[in-house]
């Protein structure tokens, strides 16, 4: 029989224990509610949309640009190799598929291993806790945060499946060197898609999250290798792989991709042009966080040729003029832009020699005096004001008064040719004839005509405008010429095929332009007949004028040179039935290229080199002749009908030629330009 005192002590002990347990329970419940009341919601984890990479693609699907705040590509678990998942589980959380958010044995085991090894080789946090820490909580180290982390881990385990938690973890974690998620880690370190990784590479990647900088294969390959061996050993312990598979993986050579790789180098100024558009239209967050897929029009083969010929062409000028080395603060610059006339696409764009040195795009942003490349706009205006290619204008001295100043336009060769046809005036780029035409038809009319062709920059309000005194971009002047090439239809270059959001939904699309379908073709801004006459005149400028270098293509080419005062700017814009390309050469500041560095000498060799290479495998085509055009034999000196041996075949809008037809095409044939190209200089 127990004594009363012992019985009292037992009752007191039991009561004390019950009070303590109750207090602990009350404290636990109170703590749970205290720490739970302001916890972040876990519902958004179901719609996981972290910042992702926006990617730009070339015409062939190759990546040419990436924009991000966190370099991450979200991939499904189905795309991730099974042994990569196993490597993470073995190395980070072996009991992941068994615990409910926290693994107490793992915490104790990690503590003991780290104590005995003298360094942190294993963490105690579960994969679920790491998801909480990365997505829901701040990275501060405090008891309060650890309690909140534990509560959220339990909640997540009830709300999400293990596979969903793994999906979040593998796409969210940081792997060093700007790589977030396993997909970008595979690309950054090995240059591979995630589903191409082997076991050795998977184990190395799985070892990085523990300490990305310490185990970086770029900076500390031996440390990364040790960590890889540890992961493989853990995979053997957990039964994921065999000993022999582990040994084979340890001996597999690891080829680490260099850190300097940048896809933007393939078309830097073009990519920047697209980037500016996307940011302006959709905003910075969309560009840098929303993982857009932007499919562009650039042809990387043509782009590579463009970059090569611009650089080599500028070096030739430097060599010829004995410029100082490019290491000096001032260097010659160049730009090139090429449009596909059949689709309306931008095929190539070079905005300068060195994008890293200067992001300024001289193809689209630089406004430069155009010189004689503006003259075709003046001549096209004249053709719509009653002039014909055979119209005679007297090339003779003329003086204009501007207040107390006088302006005497002069020709490049300082000579005057007397009566001159429009054809010869354009071919030889005769300044005085151009000014007289502009005076006759009016500056306002020419300005409106230029606007109609797509010129948006400011134009001077005096006759010098006809000689290219106004400053335009290479981009807008080239697309104005494209109206002539496309039989008078407005030309709006396309640089983006389509934009998709991160889920593949279409946000924007631009189909190739169909110029032949009248119902969907662009607006007709000048008549097909005027456009054809201009093309024919520009073909003559190549065959018998300043654009002579383009004859090297041995195919129909319409083109015009341009040179500004003191050789500050050199231009060459020309087209075939398939492509139109513009080239500009000059310095960023007002400075001469050097004596005799005209458009024909400085710019046209770059154009010829580019076009000859990109058209090398293309079939030779002729410019189509529209209805409403007639051909006649005329005297090249008087512009009148003639049957003489010296007569040339001239083209006119129907009803505008000499009174009596001598020769007219029954139906325009594709041999017409071949015939023209074989005519003698005298015949022209």
What's the rounded Cα separation, in Å, for the pair 619 and 622? Answer: 10
For β-strands 71-72 and 418-421, DSSP reports them as unpaired
Q: Mean pLDDT of all residues in the chain?
A: 88
Helix/strand/coil for 453: helix
Q: Enter the DSSP assignment of 47.
A: G
Proportion of the chain in helix, strand, coil states, percent, rounded to 5: 45, 15, 40
What's the rounded Cα separation, in Å, for the pair 60 and 493? Answer: 18
8 Å CB contact between 170 and 88 = yes
- Residue 329 pLDDT: 65
Higher pLDDT, 329 or 376: 376
C-alpha distances (whole Å) from 625 to each of 113, 259, 300, 535, 658 are: 85, 54, 32, 10, 20
pLDDT band at 24 (very low <50, low <70, confident <90, very high): low
The answer to whether residue 37 scores a pLDDT higher than 50 is yes
Neighbours of 606 (CB within 10 A): 28
- Residue 414 pLDDT: 87
- Residue 380 pLDDT: 98
Give the tokens for residue 601: 């000498």
Q: What share of the chain has pLDDT > 90, as a percent? A: 69
Neighbours of 318 (CB within 10 A): 16
Q: Which has the closest alpha carbon to 26: 36, 18, 14?
A: 18
Higher pLDDT, 651 or 327: 651
For β-strands 63-67 and 405-407, DSSP reports them as unpaired
Q: What is the pLDDT of residues 55-112, one digit of tens each?
A: 999 999 999 999 999 999 999 999 999 999 999 999 988 888 888 877 766 666 655 6
pLDDT band at 639 (very low <50, low <70, confident <90, very high): confident
What's the rounded Cα separation, in Å, for the pair 271 and 494? Answer: 14
Q: Residues with Cβ < 8 Å from 606, sequence gap 6 or more?
A: 309, 310, 313, 334, 336, 572, 583, 585
What's the rounded Cα separation, in Å, for the pair 231 and 217? Answer: 15
- Residue 29 pLDDT: 52
Q: Which has the closest alpha carbon to 463: 492, 493, 433?
A: 433
Marked catalytic residue, from 73, 92, 578, 597: 92
Q: What is the pLDDT of residues 398-432, one digit of tens each?
A: 998 877 888 899 998 889 999 999 999 999 999 99
Helix/strand/coil for 308: helix
For β-strands 179-180 and 71-72, DSSP reports them as parallel
Q: What is the pLDDT of residues 207-255, one digit of tens each?
A: 999 899 999 999 899 999 999 999 999 999 999 999 999 999 999 999 9
Q: What is the pLDDT of residues 248-295, one digit of tens each?
A: 999 999 998 876 667 888 999 999 999 999 999 999 999 999 999 999
> 517 in the Ramachandran plot: left (φ > 0), alpha (ψ -120 to 50) or beta?
beta
The answer to whether residue 555 scores a pLDDT higher than 90 is yes
Q: Write down all domains in the chain, each with its CATH number in brackets.
A: 46-75+268-296+497-510 (3.90.1310.20), 76-251 (1.10.3810.10)
8 Å CB contact between 68 and 53 = yes
> 602 in the Ramachandran plot: left (φ > 0), alpha (ψ -120 to 50) or beta?
alpha
Comparing 125-139, 302-316, 453-467, 493-507, the range with the smallest average pLDDT is: 125-139
The answer to whether residue 525 scores a pLDDT higher than 70 is yes
pLDDT band at 459 (very low <50, low <70, confident <90, very high): very high
- Bridge partner residues of 180 (DSSP): 72, 174
What's the rounded Cα separation, in Å, for the pair 136 and 376? Answer: 64
Helix/strand/coil for 420: strand
What mean pLDDT is predicted for residues 499-504?
A: 95
Higher pLDDT, 147 or 317: 317
DSSP letters spanning 201-241: HHHHHHTSTT-TTTT-TTT-HHHHHHHHHHHHHHHHHTTSS
Q: 3-state SS of 111-152?
A: HHHHHHHCCCCCCCCCHHHHHHHHHCCCCCCCHHHHHHHHHH
- Residue 676 pLDDT: 47
* Active-site residue, 280 included: no
Higher pLDDT, 138 or 65: 65
Please measure the distance between the N-terminal and C-terminal CA atoms of the chain and give it in whole angstroms: 139
Marked catalytic residue, from 125, 246, 331, 372: 372
Neighbours of 502 (CB within 10 A): 16
* Active-site residue, 396 included: no
pLDDT band at 666 (very low <50, low <70, confident <90, very high): very low
Q: Enter the DSSP assignment of 602.
A: I
pLDDT band at 46 (very low <50, low <70, confident <90, very high): confident
The answer to whether residue 683 scores a pLDDT higher than 60 is no
- Residue 3 pLDDT: 63
8 Å CB contact between 352 and 335 = yes
What's the rounded Cα separation, in Å, for the pair 11 and 2? Answer: 12
For the CA atoms of 246, 247, 253, 256, what is the dihedral angle to 10 degrees?
40
What's the rounded Cα separation, in Å, for the pair 39 and 57? Answer: 41
Comparing 62-71, 153-162, 341-350, 444-453, the range with the smallest average pLDDT is: 153-162
Q: Which residues of 511-543 are buried (b: 16+ CB within 10 A; e: fewer)?
A: eebebeeeeeebeebbbbbbbbbbbbbbbbbbb
Q: What is the pLDDT of residues 366-390, one digit of tens each?
A: 999 999 999 999 999 999 999 999 9
Neighbours of 613 (CB within 10 A): 16
Q: What share of the chain has pLDDT > 70, as a percent? A: 86
The answer to whether residue 545 scores a pLDDT higher than 50 is yes
Higher pLDDT, 43 or 374: 374
- Residue 419 pLDDT: 94
- Residue 668 pLDDT: 42
């Amino acid at each position: 029989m127990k004594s009363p005192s012992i019985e009292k002590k037992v009752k007191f002990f039991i009561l004390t224990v019950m009070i303590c347990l109750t207090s602990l329970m009350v404290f636990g419940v109170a703590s749970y509610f205290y720490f739970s009341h302001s916890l972040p919601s876990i519902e958004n984890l179901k719609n996981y949309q972290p910042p992702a990479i926006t990617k730009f693609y070339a015409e062939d699907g190759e990546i040419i640009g990436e924009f991000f705040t966190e370099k991450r590509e979200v991939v499904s678990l189905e795309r991730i190799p099974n042994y990569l998942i196993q490597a993470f589980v073995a190395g980070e959380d072996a009991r992941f598929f068994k615990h409910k958010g926290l693994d107490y044995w793992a915490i104790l085991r990690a503590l003991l291993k780290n104590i005995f090894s003298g360094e942190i080789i294993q963490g105690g946090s579960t994969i679920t806790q790491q998801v909480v820490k990365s997505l829901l909580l701040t990275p501060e180290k405090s008891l309060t945060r650890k309690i909140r982390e534990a509560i959220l881990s339990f909640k997540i385990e009830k709300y999400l499946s293990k596979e969903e938690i793994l999906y979040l973890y593998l796409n969210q974690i940081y792997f060093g060197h700007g790589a977030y998620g396993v997909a970008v880690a595979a690309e950054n370190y090995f240059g591979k898609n995630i589903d191409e990784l082997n076991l050795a590479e998977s184990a190395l990647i799985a070892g990085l999250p523990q300490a990305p900088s310490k185990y970086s294969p770029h900076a500390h390959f031996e440390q990364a290798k040790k960590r890889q061996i540890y992961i493989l050993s853990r995979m053997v312990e957990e039964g994921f792989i065999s000993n022999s598979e582990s040994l084979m993986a340890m001996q597999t050579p690891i080829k680490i991709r260099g850190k300097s790789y940048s896809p933007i180098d393939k078309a830097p100024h073009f990519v920047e042009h697209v980037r500016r558009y996307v940011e302006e239209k959709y905003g910075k967050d969309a560009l840098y966080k929303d993982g857009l897929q932007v499919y562009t029009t650039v042809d990387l083969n043509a782009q590579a040729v463009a970059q090569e010929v611009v650089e080599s062409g500028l070096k030739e000028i430097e060599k010829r003029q004995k410029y100082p080395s490019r290491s000096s603060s001032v260097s010659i610059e160049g730009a090139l832009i090429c449009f596909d006339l059949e689709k309306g696409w931008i095929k190539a764009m070079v905005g300068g020699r060195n994008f890293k040195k200067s992001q300024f795009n001289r193809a689209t942003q630089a406004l430069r005096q155009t010189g004689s490349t503006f003259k075709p706009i003046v001549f096209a205006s004249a053709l719509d004001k009653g002039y014909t290619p055979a119209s005679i204008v007297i090339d003779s001295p003329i003086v204009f008064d501007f207040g107390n100043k006088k302006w005497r336009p002069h020709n490049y060769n300082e000579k005057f040719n007397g009566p001159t046809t429009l054809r010869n005036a354009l071919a030889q780029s005769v300044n005085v004839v151009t000014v007289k035409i502009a005076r006759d038809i009016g500056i306002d009319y020419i300005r409106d005509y230029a606007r109609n062709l797509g010129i948006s920059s400011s134009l001077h309000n005096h006759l010098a405008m006809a000689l290219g005194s106004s400053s335009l971009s290479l981009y807008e002047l080239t697309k104005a010429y494209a109206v002539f090439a496309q039989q008078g239809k407005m030309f709006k270059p396309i640089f983006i095929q389509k934009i998709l959001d991160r889920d593949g939904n279409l946000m924007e699309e631009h189909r190739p332009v169909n110029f032949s379908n009248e119902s969907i073709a662009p607006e007709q801004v000048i008549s097909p007949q005027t456009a054809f006459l201009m093309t024919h005149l520009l073909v003559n400028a190549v065959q018998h004028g300043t654009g002579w270098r383009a004859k090297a293509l041995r195919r129909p080419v319409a083109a015009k040179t341009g040179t500004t005062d003191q050789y500050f700017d050199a231009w060459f814009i020309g087209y075939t039935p398939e492509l139109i390309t513009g080239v500009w050469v000059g310095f960023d500041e007002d400075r001469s290229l050097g004596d005799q560095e005209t458009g024909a000498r400085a710019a046209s060799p770059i154009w010829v080199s580019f076009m000859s290479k990109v058209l090398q495998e293309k079939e030779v085509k002729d410019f189509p002749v529209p209805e409403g055009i007639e051909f006649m034999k005329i005297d090249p000196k008087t512009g009148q009908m003639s049957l003489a041996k010296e007569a040339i075949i001239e083209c006119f809008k129907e009803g505008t030629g000499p009174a009596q037809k001598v020769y007219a095409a029954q139906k325009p044939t594709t041999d017409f330009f071949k015939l023209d190209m074989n005519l003698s200089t005298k015949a022209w």
